[in-house]
């Protein structure tokens, strides 16, 4: 306890014990850990749902894991978890419950916020979404001129874009291939231009996704989209057949001109980056169909239940969260790579960037004081094997410690031709080879034994000892996607709980928004804007000159 009455994380005995343990381990080698325990390759594994999680290639011993769990106990991670699942207002800076888990609760579950069971509302919206999605998919819902809808354009940004856009890519093989589905997020007009340039307005449905319905990028793009539609169809009444809204803000939706009968609702206890399994998933549901969407929700639920009930020793999100703390706080790792060996997961890491970095990129704790420990890492990565030919060099032989998650699948997606399915083993051979090389490297002796000239030996030596988690699933299905996303959601939760930060607000994005609003008149009208610093002033002047104003 400090003089000010606060017990700081880095003064807790459990934290100090971990720091001491880290010193004692020194530069322990994975080669040693595996040599000392022939069962490590299977003992250090867990299963959750369809996911087989191997954490043997980490710089940890049983003692490390025990000490990490003791830290979780001391910081009451599981107490906060229970409070979240109960619907308590654990997002304290916004005084909100955090209940994305209610979005995938079964119909008969009871989860209360302010004394009201929210589950019936969740299922009412899911049913309304399913009904609408089926009508679009079957052609029963037509555009203003009576033509069938062939194109769905999702307009949203951040959590109202990244989740559905990611999941649409992941589940491409499950989508209706007769529909063209596009996602527009950037306020750069080029985004909307490219999305619309070859579409027939009479066959295009816009899904305007915005929790607040005040986000400038989305409102601007939605207004331009409406202009594009009305230029072609020439009738205000067309909006009702070509625009639907996904939002918590009925008033703003109505003000924009979308009939609230065409609004799919969600609630303030769903954070934007935790929302794609809510109404925000409508575009995805239209693409993959309600049954696949529900299967995905089942996948989320499997991991929710596991996180809620599994003992600490076998609780996968808890383990992954704690491993991140081990590297970030006790090895000074600054980043975390997520490397999926699936082309379909090409947007998965971008999605995780918001999930993780918007949640845990904070330097102020829940108690309002600055933290004195590292919080969220930089999350990055792209699908293997492409990354292998780009930045893996740095992971293997650079000077930084970069823990990484490798995600792979045993079976290729069913619709691939036999010839393309045959490539899957090559893909996965790379998957397994990389984590092996990262963990165990190649010693100078091994390099010499290959007859390498002495002057090249240091260059061809791999020190190894780079930690990785391997997540292997049988096949990429809607359920497996739900499982993976819930796994990362809860991992992020665990870390925020230990670091004592509110993982569910995002005040850090506000300042830029306010300043952009202030600067805009300087660009458009040359207005004298108060409070511009000298650098920004000169940049604005140069911009206006280059822009020809």
User: Could you say which residues in the range 65-104 bind ligand F6P, by CB under 6 A?
Assistant: none
Which of 87, 143, 164, 272: binder of ligand F6P (CB under 6 A)?
272
Min dist. Cβ of residue 138 to ligand F6P (A): 29
Side by side, the strands of the sheet bearing 243-247 are 180-184, 151-155, 204-209, 243-247, 263-265
As a whole number of angstroms, the distance between CA 279 and CA 128 comes to 9
Examine the residue annotation and report whether 513 is marked as an active-site residue of this protein. Answer: yes
160: left (phi over 0), alpha (psi -120 to 50) or beta: alpha
Q: Applying CB under 6 A, which part among 104-112, 157-165, 317-325, 417-425 lies near ligand F6P?
A: 157-165
Which of 215, 329, 349, 477: binder of ligand F6P (CB under 6 A)?
215
**Largest interatomic CA distance in the chain:** 78
Examine the residue annotation and report whether 358 is marked as an active-site residue of this protein. Answer: yes
Examine the residue annotation and report whether 57 is marked as an active-site residue of this protein. Answer: no
Q: Applying CB under 6 A, which part among 47-55, 94-102, 155-163, 178-186 lies near ligand F6P?
A: 155-163
Min dist. Cβ of residue 263 to ligand F6P (A): 14
Asked if 483 interacts with ligand F6P (CB under 6 A), we say no
Nearest CA among 329, 303, 317, 320 for reference residue 468: 320
As a whole number of angstroms, the distance between CA 417 and CA 141 comes to 34
Catalytic residue among 169, 265, 358, 489: 358
- The 333-372 site mask, x for binding ligand F6P (CB under 6 A), equals -------------------------x--------------
Helix (H), strand (E) counts: the chain: 24, 13
Q: Applying CB under 6 A, which part among 58-66, 152-160, 183-191, 514-522 lies near ligand F6P?
A: 152-160
Min dist. Cβ of residue 478 to ligand F6P (A): 22
As a whole number of angstroms, the distance between CA 60 and CA 43 comes to 13
User: What's 60's DSSP letter?
Assistant: -
Write down the H helix ranges in 274-315: 282-288, 290-309
As a whole number of angstroms, the distance between CA 200 and CA 180 comes to 11
**Residues 6 or more apart from 195 whose CB is under 8 A from it?**
153, 182, 183, 184
Min dist. Cβ of residue 245 to ligand F6P (A): 11
Which of 509, 516, 527, 541: binder of ligand F6P (CB under 6 A)?
509
Catalytic residue among 20, 400, 463, 513: 513
CB 239 within 8 A of CB 208: no
Asked if 210 interacts with ligand F6P (CB under 6 A), we say yes
Catalytic residue among 23, 370, 389, 510: 389
Asked if 516 interacts with ligand F6P (CB under 6 A), we say no
Q: Which residues bind ligand F6P (CB under 6 A)?
A: 157-160, 210-212, 215, 218, 272-273, 358, 506, 509
Residues serving a catalytic function are 358, 389, 513
């Amino acid at each position: 306890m400090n003089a000010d009455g606060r017990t700081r994380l880095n003064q807790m005995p459990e934290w100090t014990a971990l720091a001491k343990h880290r010193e004692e381990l020194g530069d322990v080698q994975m080669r040693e850990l595996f040599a000392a325990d022939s069962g490590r390759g299977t003992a250090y594994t867990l299963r959750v749902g369809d996911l087989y999680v191997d954490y043997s290639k980490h710089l940890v011993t049983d003692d490390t894991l025990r000490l990490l769990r003791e830290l979780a106990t001391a910081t009451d991670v599981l107490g906060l978890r229970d409070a979240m699942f109960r619907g308590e207002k654990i997002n304290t800076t916004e005084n909100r419950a955090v209940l994305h888990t209610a979005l995938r609760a079964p119909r008969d579950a009871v989860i209360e916020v302010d004394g009201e069971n929210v589950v019936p509302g969740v299922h009412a919206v899911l049913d309304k979404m399913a009904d609408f999605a089926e009508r679009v998919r079957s052609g029963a819902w037509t555009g203003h001129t009576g033509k069938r809808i062939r194109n769905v354009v999702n307009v949203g940004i951040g959590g109202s874009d990244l989740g559905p856009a990611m999941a649409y890519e992941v589940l491409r093989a499950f989508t209706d291939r007769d529909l063209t589905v596009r996602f527009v997020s950037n306020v750069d007009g080029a985004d909307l231009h490219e999305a619309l340039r070859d579409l027939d307005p009479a066959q295009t449905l816009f899904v305007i996704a915005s929790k607040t319905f005040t986000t400038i990028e989305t409102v601007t793009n939605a207004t331009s989209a409406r202009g594009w539609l009305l230029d072609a169809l020439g009738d205000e009444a067309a909006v009702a057949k070509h625009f639907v809204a996904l939002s918590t803000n009925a008033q703003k939706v109505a003000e924009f001109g979308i009939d609230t009968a065409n609004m799919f609702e969600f609630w303030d206890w769903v954070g934007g980056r935790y929302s794609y399994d809510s109404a925000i998933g409508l575009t995805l549901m239209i693409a993959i169909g309600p049954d696949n969407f529900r299967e995905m929700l089942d996948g989320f639920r499997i991991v929710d239940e596991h996180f809620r009930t599994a003992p600490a020793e076998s609780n996968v999100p808890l383990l992954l969260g704690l491993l991140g703390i081990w590297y970030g706080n006790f090895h000074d790792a600054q980043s975390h790579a997520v490397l999926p060996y699936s082309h379909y997961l090409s947007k998965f890491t971008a999605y995780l960037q918001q999930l993780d970095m918007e949640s845990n990129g904070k330097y102020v704790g829940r108690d309002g004081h600055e933290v004195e420990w590292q919080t969220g890492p930089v999350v990055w990565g792209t699908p293997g094997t492409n990354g292998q030919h780009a930045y893996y060099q740095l992971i293997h032989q650079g000077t930084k410690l970069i823990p990484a998650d490798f995600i792979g699948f045993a079976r290729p997606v069913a619709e691939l031709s036999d010839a393309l399915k045959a490539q899957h083993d090559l893909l996965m051979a790379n998957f397994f080879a990389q984590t092996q090389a990262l963990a165990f490297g190649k010693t100078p002796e091994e390099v010499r034994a290959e007859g390498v000239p002495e002057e090249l030996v240091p260059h061809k030596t791999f020190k190894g000892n780079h930690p990785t988690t391997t997540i292997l699933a049988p096949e990429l299905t809607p359920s497996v996607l739900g499982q993976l996303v819930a796994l990362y959601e809860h991992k992020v939760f665990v870390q925020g709980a230990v670091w004592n930060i509110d993982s569910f607000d995002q005040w850090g994005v506000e300042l830029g928004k306010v300043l952009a609003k202030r600067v805009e008149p300087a660009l458009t009208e040359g207005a004298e804007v108060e409070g511009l610093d000298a650098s920004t002033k000169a940049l604005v002047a140069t911009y206006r000159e280059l822009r020809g104003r």
